[in-house]
Amino acid sequence: MNIPVQLLEAPRQGVVGPAFNNQREIRFSPQLAARYEREQQALWLQWKPSPRPCFNPALLRDLRSYCDLVDMSGAELSVDGEKLPIAYSVLSSATPGVFNLGGDLDLFVALIERRDRQGLLMYGRACIDVLYRNYVGYDLPITTISLVQGECLGGGFECALSSDLIVAEASSRFGFPEILFNLFPGMGAYSFLERKVGQKLTEQLIASGKVYSAQEMREMGVVDVVCEDGQGAAEVAALIRSQSRNRNGLNAMYRARRRVHRLDFSELLDVVEIWVDSALRLTSRDMRLMQKLVSRQNDLGVPRQLH
């Protein structure tokens, strides 16, 4: 199998002069698009990965292009001579019933079988690069929101956790299945969760391998808002409206929270190294279990029981 690692190193695109269409949308690729909502002053990012709803290398490349765009915007886009302020960045999915199922397990299997430590490290680095920039709000006065509609597992859960706020529809489900094949989520899960809910609950969530409901996540303090199915986008819009009068102060509070619970990129990179070393120690049985999850990803399934 030829691993498209070069996709992670593709030239950065979409940074200068974003090409909006008539709907104020930027299409980075068939897998990723962003649209600007004027009333909300929000950039809505929406992905639709193929062939599986996971973070494949091409999607990671596109996400880096989006991060570059926001990084260099100064929280303001200039389109056709008009200044468009960016106060919010919203992460969402266009795959029905799935926010994201996480890492590209098919790629992991191939890299592990080849003992390709550098390939695994490059993949992990590409993941934390985009998650960290979302976590720090692009070092701009931008509030980040994850809208979860459906299954949110592994790296998808890590991605949601990188935002300031998580809004989830009632039927959404969250979990880290990695422990089921003797691994752990290595792209930010421990760092993001420990700062949000503490060490004990973080290790419980990671070590259990269980899938939790949106309401359970709300009760644990992981999810901020739970709404009825089909109302996620409207709930995010309502949340933004509710913050409009105090937007500056609330964004400053989120930035202060990040400073108090300081997270350096080097910490995430060190954990990725631990993850890579752990992945290379997986047994043939562990690999078979991972391959079962690849089939579940293909079917948009949930890894409830593995034998």
Beta strands (DSSP E) in the chain are 25-29, 32-37, 42-47, 76-79, 82-85, 88-93, 98-100, 143-148, 151-153, 165-169, 173-175, 211-213, 225-227
Angle separating helix axes 105-113 and 117-135, nearest 10 degrees? 150
Residue 215 near residue 148 (C-beta atoms within 8 A): no
**104, 109, 195, 248, 281 from 288: Cα distances, Å:** 15, 9, 33, 50, 14
Q: What is the pLDDT along the chain (307 residues), one digit of tens a residue?
A: 333 333 344 434 433 345 556 567 899 999 999 999 999 999 999 999 998 999 999 999 999 999 999 999 999 988 778 899 999 999 999 999 999 999 999 999 999 999 999 999 999 999 999 999 999 999 999 999 999 999 999 999 999 999 999 999 999 999 999 999 999 999 999 999 999 999 999 999 999 999 999 999 999 999 999 999 999 999 999 999 999 999 999 999 999 999 999 999 999 999 999 999 999 999 999 999 888 877 777 775 443 333 3
Domains and CATH numbers, the chain: 5-298 (3.90.226.10)
Q: What is the largest CA-CA distance in the chain?
A: 59
**Predicted local distance difference test score (pLDDT) of residue 24:** 74
**Predicted local distance difference test score (pLDDT) of residue 293:** 79
**Predicted local distance difference test score (pLDDT) of residue 22:** 55
Task: Tell me the C-alpha distance between 143 and 164, whole Å.
Answer: 6
**11, 170, 174, 184, 256 from 100: Cα distances, Å:** 25, 16, 10, 17, 29
- Percent of residues in the chain assigned helix, strand, coil, to nearest 5: 45, 20, 35
Find where tokens 């691993």 sit: 3
Please list the residues that pair with 42 across neighbouring strands. 37, 88
